[in-house]
Structure 1
Amino acid sequence: MRFLGFKIQGGASSEANVFATLLGNRGEAFDAKVVYHHWGDGDGFGRFRSLANADVQTIDVGLRPASEAASRWAKLLRVVKYRLSFPEVLAIAKKYRPDVVYSSQQLWDSALAGSVARSLGVPQIVHLHFNIGPWLSTGFSQTPRALKATRTVLGLADPLATIRSCAHVVTVSDFLRDQVMEFGVSPERVSTVHNAMRIQSIEPGARQKIRRELSIPEDAIMIANAGNLLESKGQLETVQAFAQLRQKFKQIRLIIAGDGPARAQLEALIVEHRLQQMVQLVGHRNDIPDFLSASDIFVHPSRRDPFPLAVLEGLAAGLPVVAWADGGVTEQVVHERTGLLVPTGNVEALGSALATLIANPELRQRMGEQARESVATQLSPAQAVGQFVDVLQRVTERARADEAGGRSRSSRRNRRSPAVP
């Protein structure tokens, strides 16, 4: 089987990490080639190529991050260059002759992949990582109307329409699968492949090193959170819940790794509750496994999160996870076995769950061991690849059957047609 994947938007994104993990653990299951939009996106490309273990062909389709300053005309020219790159990409695809074409749901990825799939007459698979909604059509753009108009003028497929029309949708959780079926896609065209995580080895002394860096006493209980700082990710509620605990527990610390729009709100909230000596915002970190090795509890009360990699990282690090009983997290965390799930939005219950774990070291250890085991046995890359390969086989077999059926019908029509004198 020849698999052609597209990685266009997002740089070092969660989608890229999941994609590379699937490819890097496929063994001999299928041959893979990736068309990767690369213009110098930091170390994202290097990480992807090293993880994927596949033939990765780079091409600059003109797109740049929304954060990069540019005039309106410069941005428009970049999108036009993207559209003009389609023939070059199609030539690459024709030379490779794939049996199936794959991309994430991202606008630029799915539009280009869909154009190639239609031109070659091969099935397209879309890997859905986000909730179904109008934001998929605009790529989370800050100027959605302008982007919609540009997409229409350039003839780019709407990702929502692609989800309805593609051969198969892979979702990262059953929570998302249910959304796709409610959106009108038949159950046989939607499959869940949970995100996977490899248990990583930790350097000896990493716990002590991180704690020294962050000035955390060895006997303190460190509660960790890692991810984008967004209102939906629950860091604000986490600080509020933590504030309930400081009178009862003196030797506790809350360390939040990551950056994002909610940082200013978090800083103000920390000052409001006078938690400057107990709560740290440490920004983006590239050493999350080591960072988590210094922790005792992982907290991630996100809302409607499809299947957060951050929770997987916490479980894989052997930490009990405290979260809302919400979204795909309920497929990751088993309540009272690998963590504690509480009603969404109930800050008091969130604080109580944290207090339970702070006060019970044996419970923390037992849940942490079961958390790590759950990742190793149920959410490993090998399991995800097996499920993904099954999807590929079903999709390509159905495409071959449809093609054979089409030839058979055409042959029967030709035999019934009267000879032309």
Structure 2
Amino acid sequence: MKLCIITPWVVKGNGQGRVNYEIAWEAIRRGYHVTLLASHVAPELQQNSQVNSVQFSVKKLPTELLNEIIFAWRSAQWLRQHRQEFDLVLANGAVTWAASDVNLVPFVHGAWLQSPLHISRGRRDVYGFYQWLYTVLNARWEKNAFLQAKVVVAVSHRVQQELVDIGIAKEAIEVIWCGVGLEEFFPGAGNRKKFGLPEDVPLALFIGDIRINRKNLDTVLHAMVDVPELHLAVVGILEGSPYPQLAEQLGLSDRVHFLDNPSGIVPELMRSVDIFVFPSRYEPFGLVVIEAMASGLPIVTAITTGASELISPECGVVLSDTEDRKGLAEALCQLASNPELRHRMGKAARSVAEDHSWQKMAQRYVDRFEELSKR
């Protein structure tokens, strides 16, 4: 089979890019030839004899929207000239203006536009208008791309329902959850001193964009007030974040420890804590959740996070309401005070994650590609 993958990123250090990276390697393992239409491709893929890398190096334009338009146009022009060379074309959302056989959907802009959390509803300025325009245009282009594809793959059942809500036929949609690197994220003893974190206390971890309210750190901090024995490590970009000040106002400065988005340390940091808390208000999947599961951590999240579909009562707590501070505090309190429960849940979480390795995820995709190509 000759496979063409269209996406700006085919690298490990990017969520959507990692999915495509693993799909490419699985196709290579099966002896297929892979052509990558991308801006950034991992060197090890470029050097593989089964890979043809067609890179569209888009110059950095003033906005991400313009960069994406140029990439969509150039990739479509190229594919129209070479489409007959491929058995199957995989695209990602509205990344190209050419039709694809399979469209991988990590995010539905049409659903995000309707969310009360959309940035344009909180900011009535030029940036807010830009975010509104960006989402409107992507929503239109995405829907057209989804309707043209033979199969649309959602990264969670939550995304599947969002696709149905914007008018995509349910029978055209399949769900393949994202994977996780089991060799990178695994249970073990970490080193809290390395991160300046307190020892001999129960410690929870929150990771996300803490400059916006979508990830819901505010509810976590308010819940922390009612769990006095628990400490919390927060990883995110501090510049422009209101949450250090909120933690101080709530009297939590001695128990909430902000780490300014240090890169490359998340796996070891996860091995250094006891609980992972992530009740995001809007999250199509949430790779960080399955990474925490692979690290052997009990999970506290919310039903609005796509990865919550993987969490049973044996390995974590899924809140039905992201604003339920009392319920969140109760879950954290129960885990903070019960090391045996944490161990049992963490072990169950790791077991679930082992069935969702990157390789197993990629195998599911390529199995589906083979079925389609036979037709």
**Secondary structure class of the residue paired with 1:102:** strand
Query: What TM-score, normalized to structure 2?
Result: 0.82
Distance 1:342 1:9, change over 3 A: same
Match of 1:351 among 301, 318, 329: 329
Give 5+ residue unaligned stretches, structure 1. Answer: 39-44, 69-74, 118-122, 399-421
User: Using the alignment, how far apart are the partners of 1:274 and 1:48 within structure 2?
Assistant: 49
Partner of 1:120: none
Partner of 1:227: 208
Distance 1:283 1:10, change over 3 A: farther
Match of 2:73 among 67, 71, 83: 83
Partner of 1:162: 145
User: Using the alignment, how far apart are the partners of 2:232 and 2:33 within structure 1?
Assistant: 45
Distance 1:25 1:290, change over 3 A: farther
Partner of 1:198: 181
Deviations 1:156-175 (A, max 9, x none): 97112211222210100122
Give 5+ residue unaligned stretches, structure 2. Answer: 115-119, 121-126
User: Using the alignment, how far apart are the partners of 1:282 and 1:367 within structure 2?
Assistant: 26
Match of 2:130 among 131, 143, 160: 143
User: Using the alignment, how far apart are the partners of 1:177 and 1:397 within structure 2?
Assistant: 25
Distance 1:76 1:6, change over 3 A: closer
User: Using the alignment, how far apart are the partners of 1:166 and 1:349 within structure 2?
Assistant: 42
Partner of 1:404: none
Distance 1:351 1:49, change over 3 A: farther
Distance 1:33 1:260, change over 3 A: farther
User: Using the alignment, how far apart are the partners of 2:253 and 2:49 within structure 1?
Assistant: 45
User: Using the alignment, how far apart are the partners of 2:282 and 2:69 within structure 1?
Assistant: 31
Counterpart contact for 2:233–2:258, Cα < 8 Å: yes
Partner of 2:104: 127
Is 2:16 the counterpart of 1:15? yes
**Secondary structure class of the residue paired with 1:389:** helix
User: Using the alignment, how far apart are the partners of 2:215 and 2:47 within structure 1?
Assistant: 27
**Secondary structure class of the residue paired with 1:133:** helix
Q: Indicate the RMSD between aligned Cα atoms, in angstroms.
A: 3.7
Deviations 1:81-111 (A, max 9, x none): 87356545655x45x8111111211x3x232
Q: Which amino acid aligns with 1:20?
A: Y
Distance 1:235 1:10, change over 3 A: farther
Deviations 1:349-380 (A, max 9, x none): 1011000001000000010011001111x312
Larger Rg: 1
Counterpart contact for 1:21–1:51, Cα < 8 Å: no
Is 2:194 the counterpart of 1:216? no
User: Using the alignment, how far apart are the partners of 2:180 and 2:221 within structure 1?
Assistant: 27
User: Using the alignment, how far apart are the partners of 1:388 and 1:245 within structure 2?
Assistant: 43
**Secondary structure class of the residue paired with 2:344:** helix
Q: Which amino acid aligns with 2:159?
A: L
Partner of 2:294: 316
Deviations 1:47-78 (A, max 9, x none): 8849999625152352537678xxxxxx9699
Counterpart contact for 2:110–2:166, Cα < 8 Å: no
Q: Which amino acid aligns with 1:222?
A: L
Counterpart contact for 1:173–1:193, Cα < 8 Å: yes
Partner of 1:36: 38
What is the correspondence of 1:104-119 to structure 2 with a 5 Å cutoff?
104-105=92-93, 107=94, 109-111=95-97, 115=98, 117=99
Partner of 1:5: 5
Counterpart contact for 1:254–1:280, Cα < 8 Å: yes
Partner of 2:234: 256
Distance 1:264 1:233, change over 3 A: same
Distance 1:218 1:66, change over 3 A: farther
User: Using the alignment, how far apart are the partners of 2:77 and 2:302 within structure 1?
Assistant: 47
User: Using the alignment, how far apart are the partners of 2:111 and 2:159 within structure 1?
Assistant: 15
Counterpart contact for 2:23–2:363, Cα < 8 Å: no
Counterpart contact for 1:110–1:159, Cα < 8 Å: no
Question: How many angstroms does 1:134 deviate by?
Answer: 6.3
User: Using the alignment, how far apart are the partners of 1:301 and 1:86 within structure 2?
Assistant: 38
What is the correspondence of 1:51-90 to structure 2 with a 5 Å cutoff?
55=51, 57-62=53-58, 64=60, 83=73, 86-88=76-78, 90=80
Distance 1:355 1:78, change over 3 A: closer
Counterpart contact for 1:224–1:254, Cα < 8 Å: yes
Counterpart contact for 1:235–1:266, Cα < 8 Å: yes
Q: Which amino acid aligns with 2:215?
A: K
Match of 2:372 among 368, 373, 395: 395
Deviations 1:312-371 (A, max 9, x none): 011000000011233423312112x01112231101110110000010000000100110
Question: How many angstroms does 1:202 deviate by?
Answer: 7.0
User: Using the alignment, how far apart are the partners of 2:326 and 2:169 within structure 1?
Assistant: 41
Question: How many angstroms does 1:306 deviate by?
Answer: 2.0
Question: How many angstroms does 1:130 deviate by?
Answer: 1.2
Distance 1:195 1:54, change over 3 A: farther
**Secondary structure class of the residue paired with 2:6:** strand
Instruction: Give the length in aligned residue pairs.
Output: 359
Question: How many angstroms does 1:195 deviate by?
Answer: 0.5
Counterpart contact for 1:4–1:33, Cα < 8 Å: yes
Query: What TM-score, normalized to structure 1?
Result: 0.74
Distance 1:257 1:52, change over 3 A: farther
Is 2:178 the counterpart of 1:182? no
Counterpart contact for 1:36–1:59, Cα < 8 Å: yes
Match of 1:238 among 217, 220, 241: 220
Distance 1:47 1:363, change over 3 A: farther
**Secondary structure class of the residue paired with 2:221:** helix
